[in-house]
């Protein structure tokens, strides 16, 4: 049991932290620890293929002692120019995906690896944000097929599962929100709005009968926008968790066994996704004052009540905890708010479980810059802005002195010119010009 006055129980902290190392399991899915690496878009996959920077990052994640690694957003469907450095999943690059899986397996054979899969809003001509149209039933059938085929490629590549993106302004999230007022079987009532997701889940399980391959969902519980997730109607922005909880239940019934709980919309309410600090009212005995933890706890308790105690809940928001990270992780696990504790921004600077358990880790400073650099108007590689070599790269892009850096970064930045804003394109072009002059002078 969690002590009542946690702040006064400092001598027990090391004992609390031990729960982070405790193994846990689903049917055919054993995890060596409760630590989870969250999907953090890093945009260093050249034209969708992992670069050596990508591979090295996942090698480091595997060495961390994490029980579960969720690979960053992996796109499916037709190629377009909006995210040229985003990891992609196709039959053509399945060998590269298998290499990534093998790297993790070779470093930590007991760690599980699933992929966070999304599809961009389809465009008629593949150009960014041009000729966007209301999706036809044929478009929707294609979307369903793309997700099912993605799961099959992952299964054939040796991955342990797929996480479907229902958060942060994703395509499928736009279907399930009250804002979706289509007048066909994919809009209106919650059953209709959720239909596309249920077809994907059922289709994956029909295609892949192996129960060791898990289906997960990352869900924004509340977005704080009119008609967004966690509201009751298209004209309300007041929190009402009735529909998100029903979505959890219906998806669990369809076969989902992992729910990664989040909040916010990356376009309209991005600070909800990557808060800079914990609320002033937060304490170890008042975990639920932080909405990320509150939503996870509500989701876990609801699923238990509805008869799905085995379904795992992954908690988010831990990079905000800074030096208190290990104790807040342990407190949430002991209180039963979640089954796994997930780190995103923190993983970019230090994700070693032994460092975290001992308290001898480098905490995330709470900056959100690493997250905002990755949004559409930048599309350059992402890393911790306080850690080399990424901090060096960022300073150079911002006009600082030029020095030697891995040429892979230069290739990725050149590639990002396809999609970034005009203002950013000028800054990146200026940097590339200065870097070329530097190299000529060596």
Tens digit of each residue's pLDDT (9 = 90 or more) over 21-37: 999 999 889 999 999 99
Verify that 318 and 291 share a domain, yes or no.
yes
Task: Identify any residues that bridge with 164 across adjacent strands, giving them in sequence order.
Answer: 117, 217
Q: Which two tokens stand for residue 138?
A: 């044929």
pLDDT value of position 125: 41
Residue with tokens 């104790």: 327
By the 10 Å C-beta count (0-12 exposed, 13-18 middle, 19+ buried), 209 is classed as exposed
Q: Is residue 1 one of the residues assigned to a domain? A: no
Residue with tokens 């796109």: 75
Of 338, 354, 385, the residue at which a domain comes to its end is 385
Verify that 304 and 416 share a domain, yes or no.
no
> Residue 12 pLDDT > 70, yes or no?
no
pLDDT value of position 35: 98
Gap between the terminal Cα atoms of the chain: 63
- CATH number of the domain at 256, please: 3.20.20.70
> Residue 132 pLDDT > 90, yes or no?
no
Mean pLDDT along residues 186-199? 96
Mean pLDDT along residues 238-245? 98
Mean pLDDT along residues 271-286? 91
Distance, in Å, from the CA atom of 341 to the CA atom of 313, rounded to the nearest integer, reads 9
> Residue 130 pLDDT > 60, yes or no?
no
Distance, in Å, from the CA atom of 343 to the CA atom of 36, rounded to the nearest integer, reads 6
Tens digit of each residue's pLDDT (9 = 90 or more) over 393-425: 989 988 999 999 999 999 999 998 887 778 888
Q: Is residue 293 one of the residues assigned to a domain? A: yes
Verify that 131 and 106 share a domain, yes or no.
yes
Which segment of 252-261, 268-277, 322-331 scores lowest on mean pLDDT?
A: 268-277
pLDDT value of position 68: 98
Q: Is residue 349 one of the residues assigned to a domain? A: yes
- CA 40 vs CA 17, 232, 345: distances in Å: 24, 30, 7
Which segment of 128-137, 180-189, 299-308 scores lowest on mean pLDDT?
A: 128-137
pLDDT value of position 11: 42
Which segment of 15-19, 49-53, 162-166, 215-219 scores lowest on mean pLDDT?
A: 15-19
Of 385, 413, 431, the residue at which a domain comes to its end is 385
Verify that 240 and 322 share a domain, yes or no.
yes
Instruction: Choose among 311, 320, 307: nearest CA to 338.
Output: 311
Distance, in Å, from the CA atom of 10 to the CA atom of 359, rounded to the nearest integer, reads 13
Per the document, the length of the chain is 442
**Mean pLDDT over the full length of the chain:** 90
Q: Which two tokens stand for residue 396?
A: 């150079």
Verify that 278 and 398 share a domain, yes or no.
no
Could you tell me what percent of the chain has a pLDDT over 90? Answer: 73
Verify that 50 and 164 share a domain, yes or no.
yes
pLDDT value of position 3: 41
Q: In degrees rounded to 5, what are phi and psi of residue 162?
A: -130, 140
Beta carbons within 10 angstroms of residue 296's beta carbon: 32
By the 10 Å C-beta count (0-12 exposed, 13-18 middle, 19+ buried), 138 is classed as exposed
Verify that 350 and 419 share a domain, yes or no.
no
For the chain, what is the largest distance between any 2 Cα atoms, rounded to a whole number of angstroms? 68
pLDDT value of position 105: 97
> Which domain does 403 fall in, by range?
388-442
- Residues with Cβ within 8 Å of 257's Cβ and at least 6 positions away in sequence, in order, are 26, 29, 214, 215, 216, 310, 311, 312
Instruction: Choose among 384, 407, 369, 310: nearest CA to 28.
Output: 310
Name the domain count of the chain.
2
Of 339, 365, 385, the residue at which a domain comes to its end is 385
Distance, in Å, from the CA atom of 163 to the CA atom of 246, rounded to the nearest integer, reads 19
Band of pLDDT at residue 2, cut at 50, 70 and 90: very low
- Residues with Cβ within 8 Å of 18's Cβ and at least 6 positions away in sequence, in order, are 330, 357
By the 10 Å C-beta count (0-12 exposed, 13-18 middle, 19+ buried), 280 is classed as exposed
Distance, in Å, from the CA atom of 40 to the CA atom of 43, rounded to the nearest integer, reads 9
Mean pLDDT along residues 244-270? 95
Verify that 212 and 115 share a domain, yes or no.
yes
> Residue 16 pLDDT > 80, yes or no?
no
Beta carbons within 10 angstroms of residue 326's beta carbon: 23
Tens digit of each residue's pLDDT (9 = 90 or more) over 215-230: 999 999 999 999 999 9
Helix (H, G, I), strand (E, B) or coil at 73: strand
Tens digit of each residue's pLDDT (9 = 90 or more) over 88-123: 999 999 999 999 999 999 999 999 999 999 998 764
Verify that 43 and 103 share a domain, yes or no.
yes
Which segment of 46-50, 123-127, 182-186 scores lowest on mean pLDDT?
A: 123-127
Q: Which two tokens stand for residue 176?
A: 């399930």
Verify that 281 and 376 share a domain, yes or no.
yes
Task: Identify any residues that bridge with 25 across adjacent strands, giving them in sequence order.
Answer: 30
User: In three state form, how does the secondary structure of 334-394 look?
Assistant: HHCCCCEEEECHHHHHCCCHHHHHHCCCCCCCCCCHHHHCCCCCCCCCCCCCCCCCHHHHH
Mean pLDDT along residues 70-83? 88
Verify that 155 and 187 share a domain, yes or no.
yes
Verify that 223 and 88 share a domain, yes or no.
yes
Q: Which two tokens stand for residue 370?
A: 């690493």
Tens digit of each residue's pLDDT (9 = 90 or more) over 266-278: 888 888 988 889 9
Helices (H), 85-183: 94-107, 137-156, 171-176
331 or 7: whose pLDDT is higher?
331
pLDDT value of position 369: 62
Q: Are 114 and 162 in contact (CB under 8 A)?
A: yes
Q: Are 21 and 355 in contact (CB under 8 A)?
A: no
- CA 190 vs CA 22, 183, 241, 345, 391: distances in Å: 38, 13, 13, 33, 45
Residue with tokens 């070693």: 352
Helices (H), 33-186: 52-63, 94-107, 137-156, 171-176
pLDDT value of position 17: 81
Task: Identify any residues that bridge with 370 across adjacent strands, giving them in sequence order.
Answer: none
Distance, in Å, from the CA atom of 155 to the CA atom of 213, rounded to the nearest integer, reads 7
Band of pLDDT at residue 386, cut at 50, 70 and 90: confident
């Amino acid at each position: 049991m969690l002590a009542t006055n946690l702040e006064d129980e400092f001598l027990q902290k090391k004992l609390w932290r031990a729960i982070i190392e405790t193994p846990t399991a689903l049917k055919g899915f054993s995890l060596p620890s409760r630590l989870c690496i969250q999907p953090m878009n890093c945009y260093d996959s050249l034209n969708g293929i992992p670069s050596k920077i990508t591979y090295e990052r996942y090698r480091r994640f595997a060495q961390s002692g994490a029980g579960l690694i969720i690979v960053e957003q992996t796109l499916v469907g037709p190629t377009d120019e909006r995210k040229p450095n985003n990891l992609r999943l196709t039959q053509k690059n399945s060998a590269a995906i298998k290499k990534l899986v093998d790297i993790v397996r070779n470093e930590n054979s007991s760690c599980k690896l699933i992929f966070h899969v999304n599809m961009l809003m389809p465009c008629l001509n593949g150009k960014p944000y041009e000729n966007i149209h209301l999706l036809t039933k044929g478009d929707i059938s294609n979307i369903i097929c793309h997700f099912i085929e993605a799961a099959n490629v992952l299964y054939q590549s040796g991955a342990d599962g797929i996480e479907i993106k229902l958060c942060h302004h994703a395509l499928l999230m736009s279907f399930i929100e009250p804002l979706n007022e289509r007048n066909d079987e994919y809009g209106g009532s919650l059953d209709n709005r959720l239909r596309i997701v249920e077809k994907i889940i059922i289709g994956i399980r029909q295609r892949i009968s192996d129960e060791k391959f898990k289906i997960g969902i990352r869900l924004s519980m509340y977005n704080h926008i009119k008609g967004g997730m966690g509201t009751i109607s298209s004209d309300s922005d007041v929190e009402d968790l009735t529909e998100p909880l029903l979505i959890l239940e219906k998806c669990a019934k369809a076969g989902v066994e992992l729910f990664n709980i989040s909040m916010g919309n990356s376009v309209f309410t991005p600070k909800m996704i990557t808060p800079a600090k914990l609320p002033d009212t937060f304490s170890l005995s008042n975990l639920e004052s932080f909405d990320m933890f509150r939503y996870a706890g509500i989701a876990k308790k609801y699923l238990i009540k509805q008869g799905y105690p085995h379904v795992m809940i992954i908690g988010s928001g831990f990079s905000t905890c800074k030096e208190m990270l290990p104790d807040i992780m342990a407190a949430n696990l002991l209180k039963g708010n979640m089954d796994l504790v997930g780190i995103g921004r923190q993983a970019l600077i230090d994700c070693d479980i032994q460092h975290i358990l001992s308290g001898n880790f480098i905490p995330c400073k709470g900056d959100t810059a690493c997250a905002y650099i990755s949004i559409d108007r930048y599309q350059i590689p992402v890393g911790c802005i306080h850690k080399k070599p990424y901090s060096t790269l960022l300073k150079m892009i911002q006009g600082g002195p030029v020095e030697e850096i891995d040429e892979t970064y230069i290739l990725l930045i050149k590639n990002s010119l396809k999609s970034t804003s005009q203002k950013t394109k000028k800054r990146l072009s200026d940097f590339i010009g200065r870097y070329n002059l530097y190299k000529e002078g060596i």
